[in-house]
Amino acid sequence: MAEELREALGRYKIWKNPSVRGESVVYLGHYRPPDGQYFFFPRDLQELGFGPGDYTVLAPEGALHLKLFSKWQKVKVPK
């Protein structure tokens, strides 16, 4: 049942935002939030190996929670 929930949640796309002027946005891939969460916390991104910085997360189309939360999420991983 837990795996069915994970599949229903889908995969979220993650980008690293520029930290200095002239730097490009970098697409990092698609990931699932841990343990059936509907969004990512900074510690989740750290556990995936992402360093300090600002990230943008896009929820998958058809995600069950889009009526409750924004499909775009900003996450800041502290230093």
Query: 13-39, pLDDT tens digit by residue?
Result: 999 999 999 999 999 999 998 877 888
Residue 2, pLDDT > 60, answer no
Within 10 angstroms of residue 33's Cβ, the number of other Cβ atoms is 19
| Whether the Cβ atoms of residue 32 and residue 7 lie closer than 8 Å to each other | no
In the chain, where the domains are located? 2-77
Residue 12, pLDDT > 90, answer yes
Calculate the CA 7 to chain-centre distance.
15
**Quick one: pLDDT at residue 1?**
46
Q: What is the pTM of this model?
A: 0.81
50-67 per-position pLDDT tens digit: 999 999 999 888 776 667
